[in-house]
Structure 1
Amino acid sequence: MNRIAFIGAAALISLSATPVAAHAATAWTSCGATGGLDPRQECTTLQVPLTYGKPGGGTISLAVSRIRTARPGLRRGVLLLIPGGPGSPGLSRPSTMVKRLPSAVLDRYDLIGFDPRGVGQSSPVSCGLAHEDLAPSRLKPYPSAGGDISENVAYARRFSEACARNGGPVLRSISTRNEARDIDVIRRALGEERLSYWGVSYGTYAGAVYATMFPGRTDRVILDSNDDPDPGQVARVWLANYSLGVEDRFPDFAAWAAARDDEYGLGTDAGAVRRTFLDLAERLDHAPIAWPGANPPRLDGAALRETMLNALYSDTGFPGLAGLMRAALGSGPLPEPSSAPDAALQNGAASVAATICNDVEWPSSAGLHRRLVARDRAAHPLTGGMPVNIGPCAYWPYRPAEAPVRVTSQGPSNVLLVQNLRDPATPYSGALRMREAFGSRARMVAVDSGGHGSYLVNGNACGDDTVTSFLVTGRRPARDTICR
């Protein structure tokens, strides 16, 4: 995860849950040009309630950024960029998206970024996990050889106990409902009557919750790569959906690798590549290969499956996965491992856990999870049972303070969903449930493509033009469409 190393010396303003005057004394300063930031990006810090509904309960800092439109005469308002994750920072997103968004959009909106509470520069949280417990194949609960989850149970307890000791009140305050409330504080601080926004991945759920809690304050809403908003499960179903998403997406990689069998030697057709992957993962479960510099310093089946999952997010990840498989099969040294700094992983792990555990209750039975893992491994062997395995939420020290939001059709018809048909992380089947929940409020444009992230990612002119037209003119398709 990228983090902004510097925010300019922004003035603090105190905002309660009551309305504030337009542009209420919000002081913006340059964020600086460090970390590849666009020099036009400005930063500020807002104060938001630690606990909404308790005015005397203290405040926390929320880091916000913007790049103003270069054509104020055409300005419609702001476009808030809601980051994914959960736990991903968003402060640098205006600098990233100003390079990608069409000029017609940039002419009409100030781009607004923010780090959600607990993330990056917004009163960051940490559970103080040991370095070994920050391993990617532990942060996602991959079972051991044969589907054994004993280590996962011990890890889940260790993680939740560390959060209870070290997380503090900010960790307890993190939830999607509170992110929606924080977003509304941003809206008021900007002096905007209504808010347009573009939420991606987890940002689609946060955006859907905002549109449900504050329907009259929404303008044009883009939700890209959509989570299933099932109020009975929330993130439990998001994790479970990895099983479906990877099965949808893996054939794209398999066909790509089969067309390059002379280079990688993984199989001459997609079925052979799948068998190669499954056989290799099982072999590595029982006989890992030393992988100096990795955490842990070995390539086992869990590390291979996690590499595969990440590679499926974009076609650009295919060569790295194929090269790792080729090396593991004995055709060369393993590539240099890459990982984020521990500090970023600490913050990300804590904020992810806080969001998903504080939003909804999770089952704590290890026996239940053993049965779920056994069934899922048989039905969806590529992910090895990880999506339904036990995690820290099973032993989380806090209960949800509020019930999850039920997304409904109550509100203005101003939502456009954009979705790849073969998304490994937020599969199309889950996106259809988001579409169903919004009812007449939404339209969906589905793109016949693979990977995570759709608008301005795939080069699909039909999908991109539909989203751009909505942002610029407010016009959506009369009915749901699929862009082939």
Structure 2
Amino acid sequence: MRAAAHRTTALLLALVWAVPTAPGPAAAAGQPAGPVAETAGVRVAAARAAAHGVRFGPCAEQEDLPAPVECGTVEVPLDYAHPDDRRLTLTVSRLPALGTDAAGERVAHQGPLVFHPGGGAGSRYFPLVGELPTWRHIAGAYDLVGYAPRGTDRSALLSCQEPRHFVKAPTPSPARPSTSYKKERAAEAASYARGCARRAGDALAHHTTANGARDLDVLRAALGEERLTFMGVGSATYLGAVYATLFPARVRRMVLDSALDPRPERIGYPQHLDRAAAVERRWTDFLAWVARHDDAYGLGGSTASVRRSYEEVRAAVAVEPAGDRVGPGQLHRAFLRAVAYDDHWPLLAAALDAFHEGHPELLVAQAAPVPDAAAEEENAYAVRTATACNDAPWPTDFAVWDADHTAAAEAAPFGTWEEAWAVLPCAYWPAPRQEPPVVGADAEVLAPTLVLAAERDAIAPYRGARELHAGLGGSRLVTERGAGQHGLGGGPNDCVGAHLDAYLLDGTLPTADAECAAHPEPRPLALRTTTRGPAPAHRAGPR
């Protein structure tokens, strides 16, 4: 299903997020500037959107969304300090509430549930989850609403380089990069940042989380709602938290799933560094699972031996890329899925096993770039990068990056440097840097919210959920212990699902913070039908 593909894209981009204060043209003309003008601009844009509404109808063919999903548009200002100047058109998708629950009983309509998956990706495909059993109760009561955030799709699409260059393959991925390799990657990052400025112009500075929150309020008005019901995952939990800070009285219900740490001092570079250890811990979880299923995969009966099996494949594709398209860079990119989604574990392990048996086809299918998806992936990365770089100050001296990541890689070699390259354009960013806002709202104004978190989440380390929960008065935290799935809502944990349903359908939160046991681990997928023979020539040595 396309929604599943977009979940993977969002993950890969998520491994890489404010209120603008620089005076604009209005200040020169003696008009209000900064937050005052932007607040007024939101009121203007929201009133305009409420008057026009969203005229839903059949989705255009390029949307690839079949009936009964409907599509429409809503306009938002590029710059909320000047709401009557340039406007952006956001595509909106909707599956109207089904009207009955999973048992066929009639249920009351509760309005729209707006969803954002984080990671720079849009959520136009979100309404398709109404077909899934885990979403059926919610789809009965709510219109499932997705949208293309500013900079994505037809919403003034942001692109910083030719997409075909974005998915070039094969590429290296040294665990201990040389000085010359670091210089090469730094030059590429600087070039990418310049490309963003050249292609986007003055619009680049308006890709911020605060503007995303303002867009969300305009969408709320266009949908005809006095208050917003919203669910955000990963980086979109920060979007939701900023919305709750700017518009606390406009929140009806809000689910913040796999929450990031919203404290101003952690936004940007510190948050990025926090992930290194979390990614390594979750990578080790995957290796240990494969080792427990050595009878299915034959990759080794210990974490260390499975790690060697992976490194052998990495060394082999560095010498001879699999299918001429999968080098170490593509291999690493594919196996990042294991860090966030354990339902990918069986197939990824099977791909390693098959490669060791001399059959690279499954690995190629898992890891090779898809040219047809290049434009969409580059766009999502551009939006993700622009928002992250605009939202907070980042170090501008590569020596700082080099020292910090060299130290981090000693304890966390799997993902540290690849994550560094992903966000390195922020070191050379040409747009003004913003100071992150203090996020939080009082329980007397903000409706109670639900925060979901997995204890071993690598994309959103667990401490972030605790900090977000502490800042939102009246919120409740539901923790899945001993698990690391990123994005819990609608997933395999029945306990988490029950809390989600109770909150969205009845407004019921647990009386205190709650814990759920980990969902069952995936079952192994064994494609090999014979015992392993002698090691192929590309094998680096014994396990």
Tell me the TM-score normalized by structure 1.
0.86
Measured in 2, the distance between the counterparts of 1:349 and 1:103 equals 31
Pick the aligned partner of 1:428 from 447, 462, 471.
Answer: 462
Pick the aligned partner of 1:194 from 216, 227, 235.
Answer: 227
Distance 1:67 1:136, change over 3 A: farther
Give 1:452's aligned amino acid: H
Shift of 1:377: 0.8
In structure 1, runs of 5+ residues without a counterpart are 4-13
Query: 1:33-84 deviations in whole A, cap 9, x for unaligned?
Result: 7766341211111111110011342111111122222339712222111221
Could you say what secondary structure the match of 2:263 adopts?
A: coil
Query: 1:225-265 deviations in whole A, cap 9, x for unaligned?
Result: 11121323423344323323323322432232113324433
Could you say what secondary structure the match of 1:361 adopts?
A: coil
Q: In the alignment, which residue of structure 1 is the partner of 2:319? A: 288
Conserved 8 A contact 1:409-1:437: yes
Conserved 8 A contact 2:210-2:242: yes
Q: Number of residues paired by the alignment?
A: 463
Query: 1:387-415 deviations in whole A, cap 9, x for unaligned?
Result: 44561111111113x43222114242411
Distance 1:456 1:154, change over 3 A: same
Conserved 8 A contact 1:37-1:92: yes
Measured in 1, the distance between the counterparts of 2:163 and 2:122 equals 22
* 1:333 paired to 2:364: no
Give 1:351's aligned amino acid: V
Conserved 8 A contact 1:175-1:358: yes
Query: 1:126-158 deviations in whole A, cap 9, x for unaligned?
Result: 1123634445998x9976645852222111111
Shift of 1:424: 2.4
Measured in 1, the distance between the counterparts of 2:112 and 2:391 equals 28
Conserved 8 A contact 1:407-1:437: yes
What's the C-alpha RMSD, in Å, of the aligned pairs? Answer: 3.0
Instruction: Give the stretch that moved more between structures: 325-334 or 112-121.
Output: 325-334
Measured in 2, the distance between the counterparts of 1:137 and 1:476 equals 49
Shift of 1:18: 5.1
Distance 1:135 1:377, change over 3 A: farther
Map 1:171-186 to 2 at 5 A: 171-186=204-219
Q: In the alignment, which residue of structure 1 is the partner of 2:332? A: 305
Distance 1:226 1:263, change over 3 A: same
Q: In the alignment, which residue of structure 2 is the partner of 1:360? A: 392
Shift of 1:427: 2.0
Distance 1:40 1:339, change over 3 A: same
Measured in 2, the distance between the counterparts of 1:473 and 1:253 equals 37
Pick the aligned partner of 1:83 from 113, 117, 120.
Answer: 117
Give 1:226's aligned amino acid: A
Pick the aligned partner of 1:406 from 438, 444, 454.
Answer: 438
Tell me the TM-score normalized by structure 2.
0.78
Conserved 8 A contact 1:82-1:113: yes
Conserved 8 A contact 1:231-1:404: yes
* Structure with greater strand percent: 1
* 1:457 paired to 2:488: no
Pick the aligned partner of 1:46 from 74, 87, 90.
Answer: 74
Measured in 2, the distance between the counterparts of 1:142 and 1:216 equals 50
Q: In the alignment, which residue of structure 2 is the partner of 1:315? A: 342
Conserved 8 A contact 1:409-1:441: no
Conserved 8 A contact 1:171-1:350: no
Pick the aligned partner of 1:473 from 490, 506, 520.
Answer: 506
Q: In the alignment, which residue of structure 2 is the partner of 1:6? A: none
In structure 2, runs of 5+ residues without a counterpart are 8-41, 100-105, 518-543
Conserved 8 A contact 2:167-2:369: no
Could you say what secondary structure the match of 1:191 adopts?
A: coil
Q: In the alignment, which residue of structure 1 is the partner of 2:65? A: 37
Shift of 1:324: 4.1
Shift of 1:20: 4.5
Distance 1:79 1:209, change over 3 A: same
Map 1:374-389 to 2 at 5 A: 374-388=406-420
Query: 1:94-134 deviations in whole A, cap 9, x for unaligned?
Result: 12345345444233322211110011232211112363444
Distance 1:123 1:313, change over 3 A: same
Report the structure number with the largest CA radius of gyration: 2
Could you say what secondary structure the match of 1:19 adopts?
A: helix
Conserved 8 A contact 2:138-2:501: yes
